[in-house]
Amino acid sequence: DGGITQSPKYLFRKEGQNVTLSCEQNLNHDAMYWYRQDPGQGLRLIYYSQIVNDFQKGDIAEGYSVSREKKESFPLTVTSAQKNPTAFYLCASRRGDKGNSPLHFGNGTRLTVT
């Protein structure tokens, strides 16, 4: 079955450490996205990539970095510069055509930094 896989489901890190969240899709989608979800704040866009080897900052990119070396993969690194990294992180993808195809989401990674 096609879908988006995020791993791990739960991640714990000490403050000051970088951590990388994995996102893989086998939907053959061109565009991929990272969102952050905090209670009472909905979803906020961190980074997005419309094609391989290209990505753009979203609304809250500070303290995060991404890469898009393969169509299937869009890992997110939460750096020590992110002031409040504890959150639920969601990866999404879509066809990327101009027809406004809907976003498909993974099951998320809950990151806790202490």
b (16+ CB within 10 A) / e for 58-81: beebeebbbebeebbebbbebeee
55 binds another protein (CB under 8 A): no
106 binds another protein (CB under 8 A): yes
Binder among 18, 28, 107, 112 for another protein (CB under 8 A): 107
100 binds another protein (CB under 8 A): yes
Site string for another protein, 12-51 (x = CB under 8 A): ----------------------------xxxx-x--x-x-
Q: What is the DSSP string of 68-84?
A: -SBTTB--EEE-TT-S-
- 44 phi and psi angles, rounded to 5 deg: -125, 135
Shortest Cβ 81–another protein spacing (Å): 25
CB 71 within 8 A of CB 83: no
Which stretches of the chain bind another protein, using CB under 8 A?
4, 6, 40-43, 45, 48, 50, 56, 90, 92, 98, 100, 102-108, 110
